[in-house]
Amino acid sequence: MTEDNVVYIGIKPVMNYVLAVVTQFNNGASEVVIKARGKAISRAVDVVEVSRNRFIEEAKVKDIKIGTEKIATDRGESNVSIIEIVMTK
Amino acid sequence: MTEDNVVYIGIKPVMNYVLAVVTQFNNGASEVVIKARGKAISRAVDVVEVSRNRFIEEAKVKDIKIGTEKIATDRGESNVSIIEIVMTK
């Protein structure tokens, strides 16, 4: 799996990221990793659910990992939660 | 496992739910399930991460499930994403 198969979730609408996931699978990827941190974690779950319920019904969730990352902010280091969801078809 | 071991994540501050999780474990639970839906999903991940990084360091994430639930709204049925995180120690 290359980094090409990773979709990073930000603040755009859910459907933008769903399109990215669907495109990866349609281009032949057997596995797509959805990554998000902080408040975007909820959106990451939405992206996975919409992708598999409406677009790629044979897709499965293979693995879900959560963790904590340190990020630099104006006021020093801060912890942020992260999620990685691996989808396969 | 009884329903007593479930912590539902809502809109309160993260530490309120961390306290609920820590209390469950301190009361002898070997497993606590953290459930959330919609935008509270990000907070659920925060609760798990803070609980195991700062308070119950022997706790592990045993399982994470995501899914979709239908909820009734003013404008009819709507889909909402859900997460269930099982912690053990």
Q: What is the model's pLDDT at position A75?
A: 87
Per-residue confidence band for A45, with pLDDT thresholds at 50, 70 and 90: very high
Sign for the pseudo-dihedral over CA of B9, B13, B18, B19:
negative
B46 contacts chain A (CB < 8 A): yes
Query: Among residues B11, B79, B3, B78, which one has the least CA distance to residue B44?
Result: B11
Token pair for A71: 């990020």
- Mean pLDDT along residues B63-80: 93
Q: How far is B87 from chain A (nearest CA, A)?
A: 12
The alpha carbon of B49 is separated from its chain's Cα centroid by a whole number of angstroms, namely 11
The answer to whether residue A10 neighbours chain B at the CB level (below 8 Å) is no
Architecture (CATH level 2) of domain B3-88 = 2-Layer Sandwich (3.30)
> Average pLDDT of B72-85?
93
Q: How far apart are CA A5 and CA A86, in angstroms?
A: 10
This complex has an ipTM of 0.91
Q: What is the pLDDT of residues B20-61, one digit of tens each?
A: 999 999 999 999 999 999 999 999 999 999 999 999 999 999
CB distance B66–A46 less than 8 Å? no
> Per-residue confidence at B15, pLDDT binned at 50, 70, 90?
very high
B51 by Cβ neighbours in 10 Å (0-12 / 13-18 / 19+) ranks as buried
Domain extents in chain A: 3-88
C-beta separation of A5 from A24 below 8 A: yes
**Can you give the three-state secondary structure of A38-85, one letter per residue?**
CCHHHHHHHHHHHHHHHHCCCCEEEEEEEEEEEEEECCEEEEEEEEEE
**Residue B1 pLDDT > 50:** no
Does any CB of chain B come closer than 8 Å to the CB of residue A60?
Answer: no
CB nearest to B46's CB, from A61, A81, A85: A81
